[in-house]
Amino acid sequence: MSHQHLSHQETNAIFSLPRLVGLMVLTVWASISARAEGPSDSSGQVPKKLRVISYNVQFLPGIARLFNARGNDDYRPRRLGQVLAEYDIIGLNEVFELAPRKVLLEEIHRAWGDTFFLYETPEPGPTVGRYNAGLAVVSRYPMVARHHKAYSAASSKKEFGVFADEFAAKGCLHARIEIPGASRPFPVDILTTHLDSKLASVREIQRQEMSAFAIEHSSPENPLLFMGDFNTRGPYRPDDKPGPEYQGLLDHLRQARGNLTDAWLRAGQGPAGTSEQLEADGGTRIDYIFFAPPAQGPGPISLRSVKVERFLDPKVTSLSDHSAVVAEFDIPAP
């Protein structure tokens, strides 16, 4: 690259008083903007974006762990914790088994340090033969409210034997998370659930209960994220005709928030399926992130992109028998 030498007159023109003033103003403004926006972390500065992931990681409980499609309960939870630490809010399904759950969460905690906040499914109590719901919400940002709902219906052991969902006390978690904002923190309501895997009639009861739960504990003044494994086949593209069960799911969710949308259909990129990591289309779409801004209008976060992350791994094929759904949100600069 050639270098040209400026004449004395040209140098004076460039560094004239008006130009210097303009450069100083731009420099100061850039400095203020950089400080106001801050990095995407939990250091007290305002993050530029929010990365959210919903993931069914399949750590089945007790003797059922023999049916984990990916196996390797030593390697998988550690690797999962490492990759999940790249996100800001994590909704987990099927973290039933204590030992791998502990390893997975410890890996995230180690990466995040003091900015680690967790809400796990409460144990169901002395009920014989039932495990917890296998749900957890993990956040880099503080949780200021937490609630749990156990569903009243499940597919029965009598009908489905060892594969019945009755063995787990499935339900829904709510966590209100405070994100650093330009003038003050702003709350986001997070809900995660895992619906029955066997019967549409049971899922219908659960959908009614989760909608009532969301109405009770979320606020129309807050952005709302509802995520999880809904075991409901969904459309791949916005112009696909939705099936009746998917439409029923949307109808129930919109009872809680009328402006709620399927984040994938709004901003999805790439193959949409979540049930088959080695198929081109990703298999059936049953895992979701639904998003609603505050009821009164645009809120402090806006949806930028959504993708399905398969987390392929040479040691165990993929880190779970499901793919994760990842949504990225912009936090507007002040």
Rounded Cα–Cα distance for residues 147 and 176 (Å): 9
Quick one: pLDDT at residue 44?
Answer: 56
Average pLDDT over residues 154-183: 92
Average pLDDT over residues 45-56: 91
Encode pLDDT of 128-165 as tens digits: 567 899 999 999 999 999 999 999 999 999 999 888 99
DSSP letter for each residue of 59-120: E--GGGGGG-SS--TTHHHHHHHHHHTTSSEEEEEEE-SHHHHHHHHHHHHHHHTT--EEEE
Average pLDDT over residues 90-101: 96
Which carries the bigger pLDDT value, residue 94 or residue 123?
94
Structure tokens at 90: 């994590």
The model carries a pTM of 0.85
Quick one: pLDDT at residue 72?
Answer: 83
pLDDT at 199 over 70: yes
Rounded Cα–Cα distance for residues 272 and 285 (Å): 6
Residue 134 Cα to chain centre, angstroms: 16
From first CA to last CA, the distance across the chain in angstroms is 39
In our burial notation (b when 16+ CB lie closer than 10 A, e otherwise), range 87-105 reads bbbbbbbbbbbeebbebbb
pLDDT at 283 over 90: yes
Task: Kindly list the structural domains of the chain, giving each domain's residue range(s) and its CATH number in brackets, ordered by start.
Answer: 47-330 (3.60.10.10)
Quick one: pLDDT at residue 125?
Answer: 66
pLDDT at 245 over 50: yes
Rounded Cα–Cα distance for residues 101 and 97 (Å): 6
Q: Is residue 272 classed exposed, middle or buried when 0-12, 13-18 and 19+ CB atoms within 10 A define those classes?
A: buried
pLDDT at 184 over 50: yes
Quick one: pLDDT at residue 29?
Answer: 32
User: Quick one: which H or E segment has residue 287?
Assistant: strand 287-292
pLDDT band with cut points at 50, 70 and 90 for residue 64: confident
DSSP-derived 3-state class of residue 290: strand
pLDDT band with cut points at 50, 70 and 90 for residue 251: very high
